[in-house]
Amino acid sequence: MHLFAIITNLRFQDVLDVLFLTMLVYYLYLWFWGTKAFKALVGLLALGIVFTLARFWGLFLTTWVFQILWQVLIVLIIILFQSEIRQVLERVNPLQIIGLRTFPKSADWIPNFVTGVFSLAKQKIGALIIFERLDWVEELITGGVLLEGEPTSEILLSIFQKESPLHDGAVLIRKGRVAKVACYLPLSSAEGLPKQWGTRHRAALGLSERCDAWVVVVSEERGEISLARGGQIIPVKDREELSNLVQKAITPPAASGITWWERTRALIVRRWPLKIGTLGLVCVLWLLLAGQQNFEVSITVPLEIKNLPVKMEIVEPVNPEVRITVRGLRKDASTLNNRNVHAEIDLSMARFGNRFFRITRDQIHLPNDRVNVVHIEPPQMEFTLREAISKD
């Protein structure tokens, strides 16, 4: 009954509260996924659920113990995982979250880049090259060394040479320029993949499953070139095909015929199981905590007349009403309505004419004593009283 009352009394602020927290939890999951702090966060979440249930069920001793443990655990996590937390905070950029993007206007480097990729394939030098598009891949990759420059053949060959200290990892290309090298990608957990696919293919596939980035893969064993996008890997046959794919990778989606509605739909649908799961978890936690929240509700109820003398009648008001503001825990206050809240006034001492009567908290009857009346409108009411007219 309490949960139903809370749901039926949802406010616009409550919807915003749930949506904002869902977005926060979702991005925290993406940012911490693959870090050492992720397991600690999962443990904290489990403890948080136990703590919430303890408060909800009124377990005083358990709640008291958790309140002390929280302070110690938070300090320990900050000390033990300060590097991971710092990396996550560095990623928190409003422009990244809303996905604002600019794309390179010039693509003169593409022929030289294609030459470099095919040189790597000919020498059977493994390589991973990420083309960032609308989604920011910083939230999904780990490690990386900052590097600024055009993705030329010379740079690619120098990075992926086995003697290079930066060859183990991927190159990130952003806005048509190299942004990072030696980046580590999340591996795909898909089953039934071809046996000839190694770690590079699984890494390229794993990233393309989580965002809209395109990843060029050069196989070290077979010297083959392929492209991962949208959770699929397609082979690249020749230089012309690779050149066309790279051109599409750095072309704004709008210029590729993708409308604003399609981009918005992709933003909602992409990784939808994770988003729905996060929303469900936040909704459950919100409902558990909402019942313990201080809440005010205003109700308009009829004013019941008591002990009016037999020889007296009320001229006006004909149907007196008062508006009552009540405060208490949300699980109690949200169940109140004009059927279980009553207001009455005693007119046994009334006299003829226009008379004012105060309306006090004692005249308001509530279904339980866990809520309190904080305001009554109007605080007093004027009655016009006259001698009752005989029906005979």
What's the CA gap between 201 and 170, in Å, rounded? 12
The CATH number of 110-251 is 3.40.1700.10
Listed in order, the ranges of the chain carrying CATH 3.40.1700.10 are: 110-251
Among 133-147, 277-291, 371-385, whose mean pLDDT is lowest? 277-291
Nearest to 328 by CA among 346, 343, 311, 341: 341
**Tell me, what amino acid is at 375?**
H
Distance CA 192, CA 197 (A): 11
Give Cα 230 distance to the centre of its chain: 23
State both tokens at 14: 């409550």
Which regions of the chain carry the CATH code 2.170.120.30?
Answer: 294-387
Q: Is residue 225 a contact partner of residue 235, using CB atoms and an 8 Å limit?
A: yes
Local structure of residue 213 (DSSP, 8 states): -
Query: Residue 211 pLDDT > 50, yes or no?
Result: yes
* Cβ burial, residue 255 (10 Å; 0-12/13-18/19+): exposed
391 HSE (CA, 13 A, CB side): 1
Q: Model-level pTM?
A: 0.47
What is the topology classification, in CATH, of domain 294-387? RNA Polymerase Alpha Subunit; Chain A, domain 2 (2.170.120)
Q: pLDDT tens digits, residue range 97-126?
A: 444 455 565 678 999 999 999 999 999 999
pLDDT band at 283 (very low <50, low <70, confident <90, very high): confident
Chain-centre distance for alpha carbon 161: 42
What is the rounded CA–CA span in Å between residue 187 and residue 280?
Answer: 26
The 10s digit of each residue's pLDDT in 323-337 is: 988 888 777 777 788
- How far apart are the C-alpha atoms of 157 and 263, rounded to whole Å? 35
Which residue is associated with the tokens 């020889």?
311
